[in-house]
Structure formats: C-alpha cells, structure tokens
Amino acid sequence: MTWVPGAADSLFGLDNLPYGVFSRPGEPARVGVRIADQVLDLAPVAELGDPASELAVAWRTPSLNAFMATGPAQWEVARRWITEVLRDDAHQERTAPHLHPLAEVQLHLPIQVGDYVDFYASEQHASNVGRMFRPDQEPLLPNWKHLPVGYHGRSGTVVASGTDIVRPCGQRKAPTEDEPTYGPSRRLDIEAELGFVVGVPTALGERVSTADFAAHTFGVVGLNDWSARDIQAWEYVPLGPFLGKSFATSISHWVTPLAALEAAWTDLPGQDPRPLDYLAVTEPAGLDIEVEVVLNGVVVSRPPYASMYWSPAQMLAHTTVNGASVRTGDLWGSGTISGSERDQRGSLLELSWGGKEPFLLDGVERTFLEDGDEVALRYTARGPSGSRLGLGEVVGRVVPAT
Amino acid sequence: MTWVPGAADSLFGLDNLPYGVFSRPGEPARVGVRIADQVLDLAPVAELGDPASELAVAWRTPSLNAFMATGPAQWEVARRWITEVLRDDAHQERTAPHLHPLAEVQLHLPIQVGDYVDFYASEQHASNVGRMFRPDQEPLLPNWKHLPVGYHGRSGTVVASGTDIVRPCGQRKAPTEDEPTYGPSRRLDIEAELGFVVGVPTALGERVSTADFAAHTFGVVGLNDWSARDIQAWEYVPLGPFLGKSFATSISHWVTPLAALEAAWTDLPGQDPRPLDYLAVTEPAGLDIEVEVVLNGVVVSRPPYASMYWSPAQMLAHTTVNGASVRTGDLWGSGTISGSERDQRGSLLELSWGGKEPFLLDGVERTFLEDGDEVALRYTARGPSGSRLGLGEVVGRVVPAT
C-alpha cells in the first residue's frame, strides 16, 4: 500500500510505476514516475536520499534514454527505491512536495527514438490483409510463419500521444483509376499496436538471443501506427510501406517497465512449424495485454495481445541476427493486434473489410477516419493477484490536410 | 590558386573543399575541410579570423550536424572564408600549422544520421532486378515511373568508409530448397550509390518543394548499400528489405557541399509520363558524377550517375509530400546506379546476372563477394572549366561471419 491518495483503486498503483517525461510551466522537462493521477519528480527526491547519483543525473534529462542506458541492475535499484519511498509513511513529508497532479503538468515524448522497426506479428491481421489485398492467393505469404516479418519506419516522425494528426497528402491510385492523382488520403486508418523500447545497446556484429530479451529491453508503450491505405497500396511494391506510414506514429507518454509486467507473461498461441533455433523461446513468451480501440469515445474493438503469433523476444532476436546493432531508444512495434473475432480487429481496414462492410458508430455507418475523429488506444495488462495494470494510452485527433 | 602544395593537380583542389570529421592522437574529433591530401582544422583557424563565432563553435563538435544546421547563408560564408584563407598567401603562416596530412589523422563518420531512406532511382537497375526476380512480368512495376520508390533503412548501422563488413547471418531459402536454413549469406553484394545529406530541418507537416532542394540539402557522400541477396529474397515480401540490408551501410568520410557541384548539374535522361506537379523539376536536375566500382584493386564497373531517372530534388520532395519532417543529418541514398551497358552496372547481382553469368576478375570467374574481398567506390564530378572533382571514396572489406 502507498500513502499516495487514490492509488489503491487506480490502474496506476504501486505495482505499476511507469516512467515518463514531464514539465511544469517555465521549468525544464525531466523524468517522472506515475502513481495514480500524479507524477513524482524523481531527481529532487533521489537527491534527498541514497540512490546512486547516476540515477539523479539521468532523471534530470528530458528523455528516458540516459536512465534506460544504465541497465537492468540500476532499473531494479530505481524501482525498489521508488516503491519504498511511495510505500513508507516516513518518506511522505519530504516526498509529497514533489508529487504533481497530471492535470498540472505537460507530458512529452518519453524517449529519443533511435531506429523504429514495425513488425507484422498477428496471424489474424496478416491473414486479413492478405485476403483483402491478394484474394487469389494463400492469405499468408510463404515466409510469414518462418520469421517475424518487419521493416524500418521513420523514427523522426514518432510523436507523443495527443499530437494532432494532419491528414497526409500523396499519390493515390484506386484499382479503378487509370492514373494516380495527388491529394489528401481518402483511406486514413489506425493500427493498434504495442511498442517495445530498447534500453541497453549492442555493438555492431553482436546478437541478442531470445534469452537476453530482458537484458536489453526497458519497457513497453502504446503505439498507433497511423496508415494512409490508398497511398500505401500504390507505393508499396516492391520495397514496402513508405509515405503511407511515415507522416506520424504516435506513442504513449508512459513507458511501462518490464518489471511491472511479470504477471502478464502468458504462453504464445503456438508456433507451427517450429521456428529455427535462433528464434526458439521458453514459454511463457507472450503477454496478456488487452487493448481497447476507442473512436470518438466509443469502443469499436478489443484486440487481445495474447493472440499474437510472434513474441517480442523473437522480434528482437530477429532484428539483430544479422549483426545489426541496437541503440538505447530503439523502438519496435508489434504490428497491428487483431484477434479472431470481428470486434477484435485492430485497424479500420479490417473492421470495415477494406471499406466494403461499414461498421456502426453510434448508429452511423463508418469505414476510414474522417477529419475531426479522435482515436484513443487504451491498454491494460494482467497484474499480480488478478489485478489489472494500465499502460499509457495513445490519443490522436485527425485534422484536415493542409 | 592556393598556397597548399599539391592542390593544383589534385581532385581535391580549391574548387572542391569537402567537409569531414577527424582526430589526431589523443585529441577530440572535430570538423575539418580537405584540400589535396591534407585536412584543415577549421575551428582554431576560424578563431584567429573573423567568421561568425557560431561557425567555430559548430566546428569544434564531433559531427557536421551543428554546422549543417546553420543553413545555406552560413555555408556560403564558411566556403568563401575557407577559400580566401587557402588562396591568399597572407594567411599561410598562421594557417599552415593547422593543416595535417591525411596520413596522420583518423577520419570518422562525418554525420550523426537521423533517418536513412534508400531510393531505387535507376531505371536500368530497377529493370534488371525486375527481369531477374519477376521474369514473367513487365520489368518495371506500375508505380515506378510515377514516383521515386523508396523505403526506410537502418540509420544506426550507417558506418564510415573503412569499417570492416562482417558477413551477415540469417534465414536464406533458395527457390530449390523446401525450407529456410540459418547461416552466413551466400550472396553478399554491394550497391554503388550516391547519398544526400539534409542540413536544414523542417517541421512536421511542412513540405520541401523541388525548388527548395538546395535550401535544405547540405551535400553528397559516396554510399555502399551492402546487401545480402539471399536473406533479402526470402524476407522482402510484402514489407520490403529488412535484414538483407540492415547489417551495414557504408558512407564516405567526406561530405561534398552542393556548392562544389555547381558545374556538375546536367539534364535528366527524360521522364515519360510527366510526373505529378509536386515532382516537377527545372532542368538541369541530374548530376554528372562518374563512379568506379573497384573490387580487389580492379575496376569492374563504371556506373554513370547522369543516367539516373529520378533527381535528388524529386526524392526529397517525395519524402516530405505527406508532411513527414526531415532532421539535420537525415540521409538518403539514390539507389544502385546502373547504366545501360553491362560494365556500367552498380551491383554484383547485375554484373553476374543473379550469379548465372560470372564475370572475370583478373582471369578468375566471380559472382558475389567472398571473404577477404575489398570493395572501393570512387566518384568524380564534373567541375568548373572541364576539370573533375573527387568525392569521398567508400571502402569496405568483407570479413568472415562470426
């Protein structure tokens, strides 16, 4: 239990403690930890106490990168110390002045992103897309069950939750059109994903085995991979998505450390054929995380992360199997999370079956995003003793093309 | 003319002046400019004279990014001042102590890379690859002449010329094999490209028109996009190249400023159909740059950059047409440069026609790269009055898989 009011009934209690970057009016941005609806300013509290001064220095910076680079031993020191400070009444008097209501602070992009890779790890999502885009072929391409298919996205346009999304312009060509035209995307979409953040870097030529996942991965964020389906469909052969995705990728303000997710690990749905040795994992390798896709305040889908075919440890092992190095702040997305039911699909492309089967939103037929739409992705993970923990939500509003 | 000995007959004379980052033993890395076979340590010389102190501060840092961010007006101030200092004998006495032979300095990666995008702008290269990979279809896909096809690569594994290239491991599946296997790439290749470096950033939502190319682009580098063809062929559908490229991309130590290339502009080969308005360019929009692909000391190909279909200004305009921002240090590659003749092809894949038509190297049949091979890419551009200017070369040696 904690002396912080409201924490006991919160999705952000003492078992959770996600990190973020915040500022107060006129003050520099620095690292904080969330408890209930407040953020604890970590550096000044650390300077009152006894954690390694390395931590206080890292927490004074405007991104989590310096802290994430300290590695798992320091992450554990930090979490144990924060838990103690927030649990023990003896700390309350000198700590409470450094707790600020979320309503009174500004939250920022929590990490300085290195490389951003996006995967395609949901069998249901990949199958749905295959059925729509290549109706005359097997839904899954031959490589899909042998490796976690992924590609690099644009790290410079990863933005914090709350950033408005300007409808992108570009070349679009519908199958019924002879020539491409230039204009605003007519098929703007979301992809509900989970993102994973690298803490500990590697050298060029080094590989991260699936067993070393937690030695390099700091935590998870909510992630919305905004997608312009018409731009993407015209541009993507043969080198993959580019402008259809690169205009914006939103992530949550809060990074949930892996330590908070210990109770959330669950078995994968099962992999057949058995992957090559470098992709072998020890179960539980999946995560029990529930997602809600909320469009203009209405829940339109509840994708279950536990249904994902490829595990995060496999994605990191695959990314580095060729000797590619990772850096602190590298981010990878899981790919759209879609379950087997229609109301578990993580994109409007799937919810509206390519726009051909509109879904109802407050009684109105909808397909892709309209200007003014607000999308929120909300996440909860299985916590200790059957509780649920909140992950950072990802919000974005569509504004008209300029 | 300059008082620096050897500059008159050099590919790196007073008309050239590329920038790089160097260090001397025990000293920090900082910005220098190349003249003949020497590097001028810019910051201490600037502090003796009168250029804006902003420049001296930027030149004391270990990458070109701070200097590149100052923008075209400062780039011109710097170039005019450097030219004056190296031309006028009055500067010789106090400047000469800051000139260091290249043999006595270490050269570093010149830029801190933001996002790295790789294009596919040679019609001959795209056609050759299409003929080999999709023999039953039109060589060029329907989008190819409407937009410069490109994708994001891994910025964290962009390395400086001279870095050894460890043969990558990964999943490979030949068409004749039933299942993929894990192991070192058997089809390691090069791609001879030119790279372009962004100096002046944009905000999210802003577009860079083709006319504003020079207001944002600082200069060019040599670029070798190392490629594992077997890994790439198995992984690349439907999301594009990933591990087949992400293990390493080499760039030259020297960044040639656009100002040095004023005489190199030449007309594009011609674009039909006419591209959409946002891709319209004023000729001359291409570059007369000759490339030599040198394998173990033997020139095996001479790709002409002037044959490229899409211009660099079109690549930058396309990258930002959806509102994606660019950052100082963003890098884009042209894609493999291949001319219409066999001895103008910029990859071993094309030179050996997928390994089926070996080429002769010192009388020995060769296809893909072998351990111990050293590849050098050398570039010259048309300079003023019919002279040629050297661009930074890109060297890399293949070492065995680990």
Of the residues A91, A98, A100, A125, only one is catalytic, namely: A125
Is residue A14 assigned to a domain? no
Chain B within 8 Å of A318 (Cβ-Cβ)?
Answer: yes
Neighboring chain A residues of B184 at a CB cutoff of 8 Å? none
Question: Which residue, among A322, A398, A402, would best test binding to B if mutated, counting the most B CBs under 10 Å from its CB?
Answer: A322
Is residue A189 assigned to a domain? yes
What is the CATH number for A264?
Answer: 3.90.850.10
Kindly provide the residue ranges of all beta strands, DSSP E only, lying in B225-311, ordered along the sequence: 227-228, 249-251, 256-257, 265-266, 286-287, 289-295, 298-301
Of the residues B98, B125, B216, B318, only one is catalytic, namely: B125
Report the C-alpha gap between A137 and A144 in whole angstroms. 14
Whether ipTM exceeds 0.95: yes
Residue B100 tokens read as 């260091």
What is the CATH number for A29?
Answer: 2.30.30.230
Average pLDDT over residues A152-173: 98
Cα-based distances in Å from A154 to A245, A329, B241: 8, 14, 15
The answer to whether the bond into B101 is cis (omega within 30° of 0) is: no
**Do A87 and A130 share a domain, yes or no?**
no
The Cα of B312 is separated from the nearest Cα of chain A by a number of Å equal to 17
Contact A236 B240 (CB under 8 A): yes
Indicate the number of domains in chain A: 2
According to the model, what pLDDT value does residue B49 have? Answer: 77
Contact A180 B277 (CB under 8 A): no
Neighboring chain A residues of B163 at a CB cutoff of 8 Å? 204
pLDDT by residue for chain B (402 residues), tens only, comes to 899 999 988 999 999 999 999 999 999 999 999 999 999 999 999 998 766 688 999 999 999 999 999 999 999 999 999 999 999 999 999 999 999 999 999 999 999 999 999 999 999 999 999 999 889 999 999 999 999 999 999 999 999 999 999 999 999 998 889 999 999 999 999 999 999 999 999 999 999 999 999 999 999 999 999 999 999 999 999 999 999 999 999 999 999 999 999 999 999 999 999 999 999 999 999 999 999 999 999 999 999 999 999 999 999 999 999 999 999 999 999 999 999 999 999 999 999 999 999 999 999 999 999 999 999 999 999 999 889 999 999 999 999 999
Contact B239 A243 (CB under 8 A): no
Interface of A with B in 365-394 (CB under 8 A): none
**Do B233 and B172 share a domain, yes or no?**
yes
Is residue B286 assigned to a domain? yes
Find, among A6, A14, A18, A8, the residue nearest to A392 by Cα.
A18
According to the model, what pLDDT value does residue B51 have? Answer: 65
Is residue A196 assigned to a domain? yes
Report the C-alpha gap between B327 and A350 in whole angstroms. 34
The yes-or-no answer on residue A100 being catalytic is no
B193, B334 in Cβ contact below 8 A? yes
The chain A residue lying nearest B133, using CA atoms, is A238
Boundary of a domain, candidates A75, A107, A139: A107
Condensed to tens digits (0 to 9), the pLDDT of residues A34-47 reads: 999 999 999 999 99
**Do B71 and B156 share a domain, yes or no?**
no
Residue B209 tokens read as 């028109």
Contact B231 A322 (CB under 8 A): yes
The chain A residue lying nearest B117, using CA atoms, is A154
**Do B95 and B73 share a domain, yes or no?**
yes
**Phi then psi for A290, rounded to 5 degrees?**
-100, 140
**Do A96 and A125 share a domain, yes or no?**
no
Nearest by CB to B239, from A149, A235, A276: name it.
A149
pLDDT grade for A53, boundaries at 50, 70 and 90: confident
Is residue A11 assigned to a domain? no
The DSSP line for B16-62 is T--EEEEE-TTS--EEEEEETTEEEEHHHHHHHS-S-HHHHHHHTSS
Nearest by CB to B324, from A143, A179, A247: name it.
A247
**Do A283 and A315 share a domain, yes or no?**
yes
B2, B35 in Cβ contact below 8 A? yes
Chain B within 8 Å of A159 (Cβ-Cβ)?
Answer: yes
**Do A63 and A198 share a domain, yes or no?**
no
Report the C-alpha gap between B75 and B218 in whole angstroms. 8
Is residue A49 pLDDT above 80, yes or no? no
Interface of B with A in 60-119 (CB under 8 A): 114-115, 117
Classify burial at B32, counting beta carbons within 10 Å of its beta carbon; exposed 0-12, middle 13-18, buried 19 or more.
Answer: buried
Average pLDDT over residues A284-311: 98
The Cα of A59 is separated from the nearest Cα of chain B by a number of Å equal to 24
B191 annotated ligand-binding residue: yes
Residues spanned by the domain of A340: 116-399
Q: Which amino acid is at B101?
A: P
Average pLDDT over residues A119-134: 96
Report the C-alpha gap between A150 and A309 in whole angstroms. 14
Is residue B7 assigned to a domain? no
Average pLDDT over residues A50-56: 79
Alpha-carbon torsion (B129, B377, B372, B231), positive or negative: negative
Chain B within 8 Å of A236 (Cβ-Cβ)?
Answer: yes
**Do B134 and B226 share a domain, yes or no?**
yes
Find, among B139, B1, B32, B15, the residue nearest to B390 by Cα.
B15
Which contiguous run of DSSP H or E holds residue A250?
Answer: strand A249-251
Condensed to tens digits (0 to 9), the pLDDT of residues A255-270 reads: 999 999 999 999 999 9
Neighboring chain B residues of A171 at a CB cutoff of 8 Å? 143, 146-147, 276
**Do B122 and B95 share a domain, yes or no?**
no
The DSSP line for A284-326 is P-EE-EEEEEEETTEEEE--BGGG-SS-HHHHHHHHHTTS---
Chain B within 8 Å of A277 (Cβ-Cβ)?
Answer: yes
Boundary of a domain, candidates B89, B107, B125: B107
Cα-based distances in Å from B158 to A134, A324, B153, B292, B305: 35, 10, 9, 21, 22
A vs B: CB pairs below 8 A: 190
Contact A322 B114 (CB under 8 A): no
Boundary of a domain, candidates A85, A107, A129: A107
Chain B within 8 Å of A171 (Cβ-Cβ)?
Answer: yes
A210, A280 in Cβ contact below 8 A? yes
According to the model, what pLDDT value does residue A48 have? Answer: 86
Euclidean distance between the first and the last CA atom of chain A, given in angstroms as a whole number: 50
**Phi then psi for A171, rounded to 5 degrees?**
-85, 130
Beta bridge partners of A79: none
Contact B237 A141 (CB under 8 A): yes
Chain A within 8 Å of B280 (Cβ-Cβ)?
Answer: no
Chain A within 8 Å of B143 (Cβ-Cβ)?
Answer: yes
pLDDT grade for A174, boundaries at 50, 70 and 90: confident
Is residue A51 assigned to a domain? yes
For residue A386, is it left (φ>0), alpha (ψ between -120 and 50) or beta? left
Is residue A2 assigned to a domain? no
pLDDT grade for A52, boundaries at 50, 70 and 90: low
Helices (H) and strands (E) in chain B, counts: 11, 27
According to the model, what pLDDT value does residue A349 have? Answer: 98
Q: What residues contact residue B357 under an 8 Å CB cut-off, 6+ apart?
A: none
Is residue A225 pLDDT above 70, yes or no? yes
**Do A276 and A296 share a domain, yes or no?**
yes
**Do A121 and A99 share a domain, yes or no?**
no
Query: b vs e for A67-103, b when ≥16 Cβ sit within 10 Å of the residue's Cβ?
Result: bbbbebebbeebbebbbebbeeeebeeebeebbeebe
Report the C-alpha gap between A311 and A122 in whole angstroms. 10
Is residue A51 pLDDT above 80, yes or no? no
Contact B151 A147 (CB under 8 A): no
Question: Which residue, among A109, A122, A239, would best test binding to B if mutated, counting the most B CBs under 10 Å from its CB?
Answer: A239
**Do B378 and B280 share a domain, yes or no?**
yes
The Cα of B154 is separated from the nearest Cα of chain A by a number of Å equal to 6
β-bridge pairing A217-224 and B331-333:
unpaired
